[in-house]
Structure 1
Amino acid sequence: MTSTTPADEIFAAYDDLTVPSEFANYDDLKYPDTIVHLETWKRKAYVLLSSLRDDLRAREVLDSRTQAKVTWYVAGFDGEDPWVLEDTRELARDILSSFITPTSDTLERVLCDFVKPVFQSNPHPLLNAETGRKLPRPAGGPLGHLDYLEGQEWKAYPALSNVLSWCISHTDSRSVEKLWHLYIPPVMTFLDDHQAQYKLRGVRLASLLLLVAPPDLLRRTGIDTLLFNSFKTCLSFLHNPETPDLIRAAVTASVQLTELTTVPASSTRFDQLCSVLGDSIIGNIWVYASREPGTLQASVDVIPAVVRALGIGAARYLKALIPQLTFPLVPAPEKESSFSYQLSSVRALQAVMKACAPRIYKWRGMVLEAVLKCWTDLADSDEVNGCAELKSELRSTCLILKTETVCEPVASEVEAEYLRIRELNVALFGPLLQPSASMEVSA
């Protein structure tokens, strides 16, 4: 006769809380009956979670095994996903905060008992699954990655990334090394998948892990190298619905990892940041996704973070950066740039001007021409939908351009140029080239 435990008893009626595998491809579903079934399940899940909360309230103490099982079932609803109703998400968070004590022992049980078994049939070829360390050579030889992509049973568990995210978010820097071998294999499996949607989840999980992972642990296990290479691979997935979000997440994570694991002003840090900006953004995204405005805007959104980290080192890319960032500002019949794209471009341009201040004076003509043309084009636009905000950023750009630190060799010439332009049409250019005294822009 099989003995039962408190965890078994409490969950005997809640097996239906397991998220159906069909949600993994929810956006591609074509059969109405399946969609109706899943929508019904979503409402039923809320009812089941409500009952579970009532059952948990009736128990004074939950042992670690029960807490682990609660986490496995409930944490999957803590996210923005097609199987999660807003009320269900709030209910799940209430259960987790009220009944779960996320100690390292509880987290270890969640990972060992529920997460690890899901990935055992697809071991990552570059990892030692028992230690979380990088292998000296790929398991299975040069074609080992093909075996790794077979089956992929873990994709039948759509809520996995939410469970991992919750666990990582409740791990501190003291316990992360103990759990390292349980976190790294699933995170790298998501990150190195061949589908962009799973790569995006992997980047987000890795970013959470970097918040608590000590730099020495990343370097000692070789995971710093694996992560950086994987982030760079993410930036080659250019024609997917997830591409803009993937670019923003992967570039941000790459900068985060580089600053965490390299020495300031070192050649290693410089080389890694140049790889992100020069190879991935300029040499790849801007070349092969030039007709995809959403992808281009995403790449421009992350320019400030990269050039701030590179500093004056970004000056080597000015021949590519300045034309690309001023191009959306210049109106033309054959192109139409959204206010949001223009805003992103202006803000990125400002970051480049500040980071590369000693070299910007050579580019002042191109920058000023683009700003003036954009301003003129906006003159008759309504002060809605981002127009006012864009005008404010254009003023800031002109103010930055005439600061001594940015155009020091020709500061007087720039001021004279501003004066001549204002005299051409005071009503039009006066508000642009005469910012209010209260506006402060640090160069």
Structure 2
Amino acid sequence: MENIRLAARNVIKTAKLGELDTLGDSIGYGSEFISLQYLWTNVSAHLTQDTHGSVVNENLLLTRVLLKNHPQGVPLEEDDKNSARAIYTWLAQISLPSSEFATSLEANYSANGGKESGLSATLEAQQFTYTLAISCTKYLNGILSILEVTNPEEVFTTILSFTSPHDPWTTSTSVQDALEVLHSCMEPERRPKCWHILERVCESRLRPIFAKTKNPAITASGRKNLHPLPQPRFDGSLFDPETKPWKYKDVYATTVLEWILAQYSSSDINRLEIQFHFYVPPILSLIDDESSSFKYRGCSLLIKFLTPIRASESDLLKRTNLSSVFDDALTPCLLSLPTITPEDEALRLLGVAYPALLLTLKTCYHIDRDAKPGQPGKNEDAKNVYITRITTLLRENVISSFHHVSSYSPTSAIEETSSLASFPYPRLSTFFLDQLKTLIQELGIHTTKYLQEIVPVIYTTLSNPFGTAFAPLLLAGIATTQAVILNAHPRIWRYRGDLLAAICQCWINVVRDEVDMKDPEQKLQLRKVLLKLQGAVYLLKLSMQGASSTEMKGEESLNSIGMIDEDASMNNGIQALVESDEQLKELLQIDIGVDLDDDYFFK
């Protein structure tokens, strides 16, 4: 044993994290059988107060080598089992992520989910120790299952802390080892016992951590507080680190919660309905935090929480009145826009906040996932409430946010009333067009009532002469156009002039710029835009065929673009456009051989 320790001591002096898999190869082990009791006796004699020093790493490397070479499947004596449990406890204590990673944790989740490029020497040393300890736990689990530990909550909490590759204390090796251990625990024959332990982790470890963050919107049982006490205008405790140990001290708590929530499926709905009070306070605490990185994690956890509830068609949100609580918590997240919020940060947060809110509404009102547009639910009252909330989201958030991030500037000094969207944040503008398309599909035929607000957004996007600089923006605009035509076709003829003008202007701009485009990728994107424009024209023609001449009589027609008489038909109008500009022929005369399921033309 001492020879092995001496060899481990020499290796650890020059050891590097990337060499962990081969770290023990230079340590001569021999064929001598060393029991777990003897191993723990030796290790416990060399324990030190320094949990991340060379002596600790020496103990860990020694333990790793012996556990890796220990025969598996061999019945253990009771003394060996007790020693294994003691080793589990020791490994859990020295590998629980420390509060020193708090700053790096927030930085990681603020940078599009990527990991911070560099850590301090102290944090790198801790990271190395953690990786060794989790590796030891993996090998020990092969000898004596982690489920056999007397008090497994502490060990499970530590293992669960290493399940996210985005956390600064993890490495690819530690994440892989931790997930391997947990996968073995969640096997069908072990799953019930594992769920029991996870419930105890939530009760004894997670609940006290989040209990200090008070939320007046919910009761102690996790339900909506129907009689909340009035709150002071300014609450100084919001900025007190002591009220948020999950953010400044117990940094692993959110990761543990994230993995546990991801294990629920629709078949576990009974268990989730019993245990939901463990998860609601942490989710709301994260969403209400002032940091967008923790808001992002809160929204992600909410999606994981709601997914099995929706899949099982449970009425948990209605029984607990939590739908409005989640709605109220998520709505402020939708205001995270430039210039106060940087574009990258806004995209990341909004990209999860909108889906979380939509999932909340669908889960509450039992909106049928397979329903046709305009028929979102079976219950008429629930359907009407759902449509009302989606309409508010469309008008007050998506469209208004689109206009906010797409600033306007005068097109000329002479005509100052004319304006042109400059799209200083093209990715955000594209994002809001995608959300607009999604909400249009949810509204279905109800979209007809809001065409006067939706069509200007489409026109502004497609007619912009600089749109070819960012092709995804044009593609999102065309996809929204097609969604509008498909869902509001009974009334789309009223806006045929605006839509056709925008489509034609976009076609002319793309054809003009495609010739001079040198980048093959951008050229390919513009060619895709042209095909989608043809698809939009085809759909517009189909919608016009459904409009009767009596409906169109006396209404504005393509005269709005100064091309044809008011009483002219759609076909005559298109013919006039082709005659006035030959390059529109390929766009407007798309009639034959188009398949509505063809991805080339439709999106």
The residue type equivalent to 1:225 in the other structure is S
**Counterparts of 1:42 and 1:198, CA distance in 2:** 22
**Counterparts of 2:118 and 2:347, CA distance in 1:** 32
The residue type equivalent to 2:593 in the other structure is A
Work out whether residues 26 and 82 of structure 1, in 8 Å CA contact, stay in contact via their aligned partners in 2: no
TM-score (norm 1): 0.86
Work out whether residues 286 and 298 of structure 2, in 8 Å CA contact, stay in contact via their aligned partners in 1: yes
Deviation at 1:416, TM superposition (A): 3.5
Q: Secondary structure at the match of 1:134?
A: coil
Deviation at 1:17, TM superposition (A): 4.3
RCO higher in structure (CA 8 A, sep ≥6) = 1
Matched residue, 1:245: 348
**Counterparts of 1:208 and 1:55, CA distance in 2:** 31
Residues 308/373 of structure 1: CA separation in 2 closer, same or farther (3 Å cut): same
Query: Is 2:492 aligned against 1:374?
Result: no
Matched residue, 1:25: 106
Query: Is 2:472 aligned against 1:340?
Result: yes
Which of the numbers 423, 426, 430 marks the counterpart of 1:297?
A: 430
Alignment of 1:377-392 (within 5 A): 377-379=509-511, 380=515, 381=517, 384-385=521-522, 386-392=525-531
**Counterparts of 1:383 and 1:420, CA distance in 2:** 34
The residue type equivalent to 1:276 in the other structure is L
Residues 238/61 of structure 1: CA separation in 2 closer, same or farther (3 Å cut): closer
Which of the numbers 535, 546, 561 marks the counterpart of 1:396?
A: 535
**Counterparts of 1:169 and 1:178, CA distance in 2:** 16
Which of the numbers 349, 358, 362 marks the counterpart of 1:259?
A: 362
Matched residue, 2:200: 109
TM-score (norm 2): 0.65
Query: Is 2:310 aligned against 1:236?
Result: no
Which of the numbers 228, 239, 248 marks the counterpart of 1:138?
A: 228
Deviation at 1:223, TM superposition (A): 0.7
The residue type equivalent to 2:303 in the other structure is S
**Counterparts of 2:495 and 2:575, CA distance in 1:** 19
Matched residue, 1:46: 131
Residues 17/154 of structure 1: CA separation in 2 closer, same or farther (3 Å cut): closer
The residue type equivalent to 1:97 in the other structure is H
Matched residue, 2:439: 306
Residues 376/34 of structure 1: CA separation in 2 closer, same or farther (3 Å cut): same
Matched residue, 2:258: 165
**Counterparts of 1:432 and 1:52, CA distance in 2:** 67
Query: Is 2:400 aligned against 1:283?
Result: yes
Matched residue, 2:318: 219
Residues 76/329 of structure 1: CA separation in 2 closer, same or farther (3 Å cut): farther
Deviation at 1:435, TM superposition (A): 6.3
**Counterparts of 1:232 and 1:183, CA distance in 2:** 20
Q: Secondary structure at the match of 2:547?
A: helix
Which of the numbers 213, 218, 224 marks the counterpart of 1:127?
A: 218
The residue type equivalent to 1:351 in the other structure is A
Query: Is 2:143 aligned against 1:58?
Result: yes
Work out whether residues 191 and 198 of structure 1, in 8 Å CA contact, stay in contact via their aligned partners in 2: yes
The residue type equivalent to 1:164 in the other structure is L
* Higher deviation after alignment, 89-98 or 160-169: 89-98
Q: Secondary structure at the match of 1:357?
A: coil
Deviation at 1:132, TM superposition (A): 1.0
**Superimposed CA distance per residue, residues 39-73 of structure 1 (whole angstroms, 9 cap, x where no aligned partner):** 45445543333222112111146237765444422
Q: Secondary structure at the match of 1:77?
A: coil
The residue type equivalent to 2:403 in the other structure is W
Alignment of 1:191-202 (within 5 A): 191-202=287-298
Work out whether residues 255 and 305 of structure 1, in 8 Å CA contact, stay in contact via their aligned partners in 2: no
The structure that has the greater radius of gyration is: 2
Query: Is 2:388 aligned against 1:268?
Result: no
How many residues matched?
A: 437
Work out whether residues 258 and 269 of structure 1, in 8 Å CA contact, stay in contact via their aligned partners in 2: yes
The residue type equivalent to 1:210 in the other structure is L
Deviation at 1:155, TM superposition (A): 0.4
**Counterparts of 1:384 and 1:221, CA distance in 2:** 51
Which of the numbers 12, 28, 53 marks the counterpart of 2:90?
A: 12
Matched residue, 1:155: 247
**Counterparts of 2:277 and 2:167, CA distance in 1:** 30
Deviation at 1:6, TM superposition (A): 6.3
Work out whether residues 395 and 435 of structure 1, in 8 Å CA contact, stay in contact via their aligned partners in 2: no
The residue type equivalent to 2:346 in the other structure is T
Q: Percent identity?
A: 19
Residues 184/317 of structure 1: CA separation in 2 closer, same or farther (3 Å cut): same
Matched residue, 1:415: 571
**Counterparts of 1:193 and 1:346, CA distance in 2:** 37
Work out whether residues 123 and 148 of structure 1, in 8 Å CA contact, stay in contact via their aligned partners in 2: no
- RMSD across aligned positions (CA): 3.4
Work out whether residues 132 and 181 of structure 1, in 8 Å CA contact, stay in contact via their aligned partners in 2: yes
**Counterparts of 1:89 and 1:392, CA distance in 2:** 45
The residue type equivalent to 2:595 in the other structure is M
Work out whether residues 361 and 406 of structure 1, in 8 Å CA contact, stay in contact via their aligned partners in 2: no
Deviation at 1:417, TM superposition (A): 3.4
The residue type equivalent to 2:444 in the other structure is G
**Counterparts of 1:35 and 1:407, CA distance in 2:** 67
The residue type equivalent to 2:536 in the other structure is T
Residues 36/362 of structure 1: CA separation in 2 closer, same or farther (3 Å cut): farther
Alignment of 1:326-337 (within 5 A): 326-332=459-465, 337=469
Work out whether residues 6 and 66 of structure 1, in 8 Å CA contact, stay in contact via their aligned partners in 2: no
Deviation at 1:190, TM superposition (A): 0.8
**Counterparts of 1:7 and 1:429, CA distance in 2:** 78
* Higher deviation after alignment, 190-199 or 418-427: 418-427
Residues 59/389 of structure 1: CA separation in 2 closer, same or farther (3 Å cut): farther
Which of the numbers 77, 81, 88 marks the counterpart of 2:166?
A: 81
Deviation at 1:16, TM superposition (A): 2.8
* Higher deviation after alignment, 154-163 or 418-427: 418-427
Deviation at 1:276, TM superposition (A): 1.0
Work out whether residues 405 and 425 of structure 2, in 8 Å CA contact, stay in contact via their aligned partners in 1: no
Q: Which runs of 5+ in 1 are unaligned?
A: none
Work out whether residues 84 and 144 of structure 2, in 8 Å CA contact, stay in contact via their aligned partners in 1: no
Residues 68/390 of structure 1: CA separation in 2 closer, same or farther (3 Å cut): farther
**Counterparts of 1:209 and 1:65, CA distance in 2:** 30
